[in-house]
Structure 1
Amino acid sequence: MVLLICASFVRVQRHNIFKKRLDVHGKVVNAPKPDAINAPKVQKPLQKHGGRLEHNETYCGSCFGAESSDDECCNNCEEVREAYRKKGWALTNADLIDQCHREGFIERVKEEAGEGCNIYGKLEVNKVAGNFHFAPGKSFQQSAMHLLDLMGFITDSFNVSHTINELSFGAHFPGAVNPLDKVTNIQKDLNGMYQYFIKVVPTVYTDIKGRKISTNQFSVTEHYTAGDHGPRFVPGVFFFYDLSPIKVKFSEERPSFLHFLTNVCAIVGGVYSIAGIIDSFVYHGHRAIKKKMELGKLS
């Protein structure tokens, strides 16, 4: 199963996201490649030609009824699938599409069965409520709804078991605890949807030298939905976050000399008191034992 990251309902400003394919044993299949969230599409020059590709002729593949204009071309399997997505049609059998059959799309999907992925990087977004998620398939918009195309997979079940190695909203500061670090969830059903509802709290940390770190803390609530619950059910891992109106400030301060002297006196006094108690206990114990020994000799 190949998981793709999708950023929805939130405008991604900049990102540095990488994906690595992993086999069933967790080993990297190929080198990591950057994801293309909100990346502009490259407009290819139109290649007009009908029918089969001949020598020294350009190729204009059919979109199989999904063309948005008479001169639109679909020269590979992905372009046919994209045309179908724009129409809102389901591509039920990709092997019947010439481009997909020629590229071995079905065989390639079968080869990737049982695979997973490792996704890492950073996202820079606006300071508004939003979500990001990891789900199988490719995302697209239709009728103001965010949908995922799952027709390219030869299965109705998706295993979205996952481990969150690290998740943070901002720079690390001393004493920070991220509640989702090292969290593992193993899916036990055919399909599952994991939802993490995150409350982000803006935080300012000031160290002893007066240097400030503007970052965030967060709390989280988990929810799991098993099985297929209709067309709105999408297998995947979803992170919904919202910003708290309250800001937390931490600051390091060096105690004054008077405070230090008071602590030293308290420590010395405590040691003296404990020493007196121990001395008294030993003294009275010794006297009691000595007295018993004297009474034993007299008798």
Structure 2
Amino acid sequence: MTTASRLKSVDFYRKIPRDLTEASLSGAGLSIVAALAMVFLFGMELNEYLSVTTTTSVIVDKSSDGDFLRIDFNFSFPALSCEFASVDVSDVLGTNRLNLTKTVRKFSIDPNLRPTGHEFQPGPATNVIKHDEKVDEESLEGAFVFTSDNFDKYAHQFPITAVNFYAPWCYWSQRLRPSWEKAAKIIRERHDPEMDGRIFMGKVDCTQEGDLCRRHHIQGYPSIRIFRKGSDIRSDHGHHEHESYYGDRDTDSLVKTMENLVASLPSESQKLALEDKLNVENAKRAAPSAGGCRIEGYVRVKKVPGNLIVSARSDTHSFDASQMNMSHVVHHLSFGRKLTPRAMSDLKRLIPYIGNSHDRLNGLSFINSHDLGANITMEHYLQIVKTEVITRKDYQLVEEYEYTAHSSVAHSLHIPVARFHLELSPMQVLITEQQKSFSHFITNVCAIIGGVFTVCISDTVALYFYQYTKLWLYTCTIHYLFPCGFR
């Protein structure tokens, strides 16, 4: 026996000689049905192979972004001045950070939320403001008393007008009063308003001249404003261009500041030494041009229950809680790293419902109407859940934070604030993208083709068996009825 013959002896697929095969209409019909079935099942299997399925599970938070959470925000407060607007964060572990400025920007806005100028610069922080230790009762009447009737007249008459907006009940106003009165008396003696006419110092009692103080966006007491002749423009939506003084409040500092302002009027050569000039510039900067503020930026907080608070804050000013209005508009509030538009579209394709709750507060307004009364704090309770999506594409990990929000108002015994309570869930949702492997697809395709072909062959054999059985039964019946046969 040759090698070829030996190989042929182990053939699993032996051929039937073509002379022993015969085509039939029933076999052709069955073959067409089998082919259509194969194509249909192959198409379904291919569609399932190309489609992506997801599995969702809830696990303990194992965030890859560490122990801190980034909060991006953009709020508008139509009745809170950028001069005193403060962003604070606190948590249950005792963290308490006040007046964050490194990652927070402020822009003055009018009551209609329209910007009124460039970014508000808070200037260098001063921890301690000096005041006079001894009060000289004889010098307590030196500043001119401004009212709504005479303010514009004097503000437009003198090149420089320095005004102390105060409230008699305010502790800081009481401490400033003797220094301001004494400084005003000294400046009047050195620069007589009638003879010199370059500077004029006065004061405004905001409890008596409420309209005048509101017109100049006074929200904290005392507020020292420096007006320059011709710079107070009120025709453009009520904007005011003037400066605020935030330096020391003792008599010597106030007199030195006023002398520097006077010296700057005739010529640059008459200014004081560079050191004194820098001290004045640090203590004096542009005042808010409107009474509202847009606050945007981000903060990082620990992943524990805590608060994000926007309030009016100053270590050297007092506030009238009954006049504070913390109405605000939430333009944007999100948690975690920002997703690119492409990543978000991929997530929407993968999971249609994801991303629908990460912007629940965006575009909503929370207004303190007169019906609610005074001392109203705006509170938002946010429950935050992290969702991680592991995509098959490059095995990319996408993280997103979604939250639910419930808002309310409450009467406060202290200065009203806008408070965002943060409750972070210790659990996270894990969504994994899954797709069938190519080997599984090929195996199923082979099973479809082989199975359909085998079933069709079985149907053909059964058909022929049925036909031969019917013929045999017919023959047996004839022999039984006519044992002698036909003649």
- Deviations, residues 94-127 of structure 1 (Å, cap 9, x unaligned): 8735359869797777511672111111101222
CA contact (8 A) 1:161 1:186 kept: yes
Which residue matches 2:395?
A: 210
C-alpha change, 1:151 and 1:254, in structure 2 (3 Å) is same
Give me the whole-angstrom Cα distance separating, in 2, the residues matched to 1:255 and 1:34: 57
Q: Could you tell me which of 164, 177, 181 is aligned with 2:330?
A: 164
Normalised to the residue count of structure 2, the TM-score between the two structures is 0.36
The normalised TM-score by structure 1 is 0.55
The answer (yes or no) to whether the contact 1:14–1:125 under 8 Å persists in 2 is no
Matched, 1:131 2:315: no
Residue type at the aligned position of 1:115: G
Alignment of 1:175-194 (within 5 A): 175-176=354-355, 177-178=357-358, 179-188=360-369, 189-191=372-374, 192-194=376-378
Cα pair distance change 1:219/1:168, threshold 3 Å: same
Alignment match, 1:31: 118
Q: Which one of the candidate residues 237, 248, 251 is aligned to 2:418? A: 237
Matches of 1:210 and 1:237, distance apart in 2: 41
Equivalents in 1 of 2:314, 2:385: separation in Å? 30
Runs of 4+ in 1 over 4 A off after TM superposition: 11-15, 39-44, 92-95, 99-110, 254-259
* Structure with the larger helix share: 2
Residue 61 of structure 1 and its aligned partner are, at CA, apart by: 4.7
SS of alignment partner, residue 31 of structure 1: strand
Offset, 1:167: 0.5
Structure 1: how far apart are the matches of 2:122 and 2:387? 30
CA separation in 2, counterparts of 1:109 and 1:213? 49
Separation (CA, whole Å) in 1 of partners of 2:202 and 2:300: 36
CA distance in 1, matches of 2:361, 2:395: 30
Return the alpha-carbon distance in structure 2 between the equivalents of residues 2 and 64 of structure 1.
35
Match of 1:2 in 2: 80
Distance 2:80 2:421 in 1: 22
Summarize the Cα distance change of 1:15–1:198 in structure 2 as closer, same or farther, 3 Å threshold: farther
Partner of 1:145: none
Amino acid in the other structure paired with 1:241: L
Cα pair distance change 1:14/1:119, threshold 3 Å: closer
Preserved CA contact (<8 Å) 2:308 2:420: yes
Deviation at 1:256, TM superposition (A): 6.5
Per the alignment, do residues 211 and 63 of structure 1 end up closer, same or farther by CA in structure 2, a change over 3 Å counting? Answer: farther
* Aligned twin of 1:19: 106
Question: How many residues get paired?
Answer: 214
Answer yes or no: is the 8 Å Cα contact 1:18–1:32 preserved in 2. yes
Alpha-carbon distance, 1:248 to partner: 1.2
What is the one-letter code of the residue matched to 2:217?
E
User: Are residue 91 (structure 1) and residue 172 (structure 2) matched?
Assistant: yes
Q: Contact between 1:11 and 1:125, CA under 8 Å: does it hold in 2? A: no
The 3-state SS of whatever aligns with 2:335 is coil
Aligned mates of 2:337, 2:302 — CA distance in 1: 16
Match of 1:19, SS state, is strand
Q: Secondary structure at the match of 2:108?
A: strand
302, 310, 318: which one aligns with 1:151: 318
Pair 1:250-2:337 in alignment: no
Shift of 1:90: 3.1
Q: How far 1:217 sits from its partner (Å)?
A: 1.8
Matched, 1:223 2:399: no
C-alpha change, 1:223 and 1:26, in structure 2 (3 Å) is: closer
> Is residue 200–residue 241 contact of structure 1 (8 Å, CA) maintained in 2?
yes
Is 1:62 aligned with 2:149? no
Q: CA separation in 2, counterparts of 1:206 and 1:97? A: 68
Structure of greater Rg: 2
Equivalent in the alignment of 2:294: 118
Task: Give the 3 Å change call, closer, same or farther, for CA 25–14 of structure 1 in structure 2.
Answer: closer
- Equivalent position amino acid for 1:223 in 2: S
Rounded Cα–Cα distance in structure 2 between residues aligned with 1:30 and 1:108: 21
CA RMSD of aligned residues (A): 4.4
1:250–1:63 Cα change, 3 Å: farther
Task: Give 5+ residue unaligned stretches, structure 1.
Answer: 45-59, 66-76, 79-88, 141-148, 263-299
1:276 paired residue number: none
Give 1:160's aligned amino acid.
M
SS of residue paired to 1:238: strand
Aligned-pair CA distance for 1:180: 1.3
Distance 1:116 1:64, change over 3 A: farther
Q: 1:40 to 1:116 in 2, by over 3 A?
A: closer
- Pair 1:199 & 2:383 matched: yes
1:48-105 CA-to-partner distances (Å, cap 9, x unmatched) read xxxxxxxxxxxx751568xxxxxxxxxxx99xxxxxxxxxx83355873535986979
User: For 2:332, what is the secondary structure of its paired residue?
Assistant: coil
Match for 1:214: what amino acid? E
Percent same amino acid among aligned pairs? 15
Shift in Å, 1:40? 7.2
CA distance in 2, matches of 1:119, 1:249: 34
- Structure 1 pair 24/238, CA: closer, same or farther in 2 (3 Å)? same
